[in-house]
Structure 1
Amino acid sequence: MFGRVIQAQLRTPKGDITVAAKTVRSEDSQTYRDFYREAAILIVVHEEKDHDVRNSNIVQLIGMITTSKEKYILLEYSPTGDPLWVLRQFREGDGDDQADLLDRFLRYAVHVTRALGELERLRIVHRDVAARNVLITVDDVAKLADFGLARDVYTTADYVSTTQDGCHKLLPLKWMALESIETGEYTCQSDAWSFGVLLWEIATLGKDPCYDGRIQLSFLQMVGILRQGIRMERPPGCPEDLYRLMRSCWREVPATRPTPEGIEKRLLQLLPHYVIEMETAL
């Protein structure tokens, strides 16, 4: 939301490599804070001693450009784009078999749970887990990206405009946990809630989240709906076990929501045997 991304060539001693270069849309203090926050979080992830770039499901940080007038975060380039576009293409008549498509995207969902597990170990919360913020690499691996809203848990159209602490912000209301909407509290458990909405996006082939028959809702309306125990309905054709997993992510008490490890285990149980074997071998 704060930046624009261009495809670029990075010159290195070993030759040019294609990268995604992310810069700011406007030069104001809030935009730069978001820009440097994303960079700082990616640096923390990549400098963690157990981080393995080759097997990580978090988008790879290539480097930063900070000495020129235009600042850039350089990320690995993912030519396939985000899964939301692929889902919507199918809904408009792309022609793939729906069962095969669900298996494919549940495999991507497993990859995202692994990214969330990595963030949980570092005590970082993403704050904007959604299909639009996942990238599919050339190797057909899903990676969590766009950390513009991410926060360390120890610090204080899809986005709804609001003012918090005197600052104008755009927040992904329909992906947010109840406690995040009410009190601004973000934890790894609130990321689990958002992941449940991502699963709903997969099951609906990329439809906009809809609560109580309404797509457009205010903060007060969302709080009222969620406080009544109302959640998004099971999408047509969605397996009951998958919907139960979504509902477990949307439990009101954060501590009762499943962990990334627990979500991954349940997703693998939903996949065909051959997919389970493939995921175990990764």
Structure 2
Amino acid sequence: MRGPFGIAYSPLNTMVESEETHQPLWLKELRDLARGFCGALVVALPLLYTQEMWERVRFLPTWMLLLALLLTYFANMGYILFEGYKPEPERQRVWLDALTTMGIGVLSSGITLALIGRYDFSMPFYLTAKLILLETIPTSFGASLAINQLGVRTRGNDRAKQPADDFSPDRRKMLATLLGALLFSFNIAPTEEPFLITISLSGWHVLAIVLFSLFVSYLMVFFADFVEKEQKQGFLGPVWAETGVSYLASLAISAILLWIFGYLDGATPVHLAVAHIITLGYATTLGGSAGRLIL
């Protein structure tokens, strides 16, 4: 059957195959949503308990929050291209599933924040809404990656073909780097510790962080043999090219996160901004390297 915008759908009472059994479509969809909900909490619970996230909404401009949510939607599309919360790729609709993960993020964030007393009826509605929407960013990431995080696989425990498998090697590596850097460092970026570390560093410390970040990236992806490397193809085939370009991409994610959370603006001294980006870049580089291995 076809619904609005030409989207194909089946009645919820349709019997569908699942592993070795058959079950109603509504039950399968409900389990998919439950998987996304659990993944959201597994990934984002630390940030739901982080004071800087609660306080940041008081100073975060609404337009910047909306921009961050838009970027989050596109990031979720990227995560779903690699591993979505639906085990069967043929049931995935990337743009619709990304929107669904945002809804799961709102629900899981709203419930958890209410349970831990972060908002009540005495709090202005706009602050409550901003708090829930800000926390929706990491929770929606968790929902998008629920299969990867919770180990769900299709029958036979084999990895099913994903849309990202059709990408060129360069495109796949860059997307995995950006998504891994974003996911891994989002738990750190809102906190004050990277800034406190930055203002205590000398120039030699900053240079050492750059060199060590590059070294660890090489170590993880090329030397430690976590996974079998594909044959070198494309511009990012050589070791130096993949390591260097991926590091620059990770620094870009670091800069964007620091800007969104108010640590960088036009008044920030250049030397302090560069050092702060490099300090958080240590985390984004680790995440980007892990992304190229896992995604």
Q: TM-score, normalised by structure 2?
A: 0.28
More strand by share: 1
Whose radius of gyration is greater, 1 or 2? 2
Q: TM-score, normalised by structure 1?
A: 0.29
